[in-house]
């Protein structure tokens, strides 16, 4: 019978490619900011991360800054089977809650790319929260999983 690796050994094993990386600012924990590689001609790419508010006060993600002409938080809404993206000005991170920015839902949209995102690229960014303040993070670009959901933002 195979035993599952303990958490500690799993963490050691994960150092290398696609390392999970975390950041903390105030009561907020920011987990594994990443982006998928983009098609060659893509003019935009999407970033994903998870934010947990361990505090007793609600917070709000006000802004994401990165070195691109435009960076916005988007949400994806499906109307009549057509997925549409909408700009979210303020993303609430309620006390005790975890907000996931994931494919098909919220995401950070990097717009006006001059070069595609390639596997292994690191994208520095700053998250600006109403209460917790600013935190510098890095989005790690990862290869698209085989048969994964397409997140082509090229016509965005």
Q: How far is the CB of 94 from Cu ion (least distance, A)?
A: 23
Toward Cu ion, which CB reaches closer, 91 or 109? 109
Q: How far is the CB of 156 from Cu ion (least distance, A)?
A: 6
Tokens, residue 152 = 């082509």
Give residues in contact with Cu ion (CB under 5 A).
Answer: 74, 85, 109
Q: How far is the CB of 109 from Cu ion (least distance, A)?
A: 4
Angle formed at CA 61 by CA 119 and CA 58, multiple of 5 degrees: 135
Q: How would you classify the pairing of strands 28-36 and 133-142?
A: parallel
Toward Cu ion, which CB reaches closer, 20 or 83? 83
With beta carbons less than 8 A apart as the criterion, state whether 112 and 154 touch. no
Toward Cu ion, which CB reaches closer, 109 or 132? 109
The residue number with the shortest CB distance to Cu ion is 74
Tokens, residue 89 = 């000005």
Tokens, residue 73 = 């938080």
């Amino acid at each position: 019978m195979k035993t599952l690796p303990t958490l500690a050994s799993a963490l050691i094993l994960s150092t290398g490619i696609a390392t999970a990386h975390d950041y903390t600012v105030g009561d907020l924990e920011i987990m594994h900011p990443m982006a998928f590689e983009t098609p060659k001609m893509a003019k935009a790419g999407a970033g994903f991360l998870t934010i947990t508010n361990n505090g007793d006060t609600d917070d709000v993600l006000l802004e994401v800054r990165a070195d691109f002409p435009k960076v916005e938080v988007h949400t994806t809404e499906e109307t009549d089977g057509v997925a549409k993206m909408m700009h979210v000005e303020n993303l609430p991170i309620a006390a005790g809650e975890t907000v996931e920015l994931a494919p098909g839902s919220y995401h950070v949209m990097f717009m006006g790319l001059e070069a595609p995102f390639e596997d292994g690229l690191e994208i520095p960014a700053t998250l600006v929260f109403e209460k917790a303040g600013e935190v510098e993070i890095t989005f790690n670009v990862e290869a698209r999983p085989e048969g994964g959901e397409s997140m082509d933002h090229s016509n965005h």
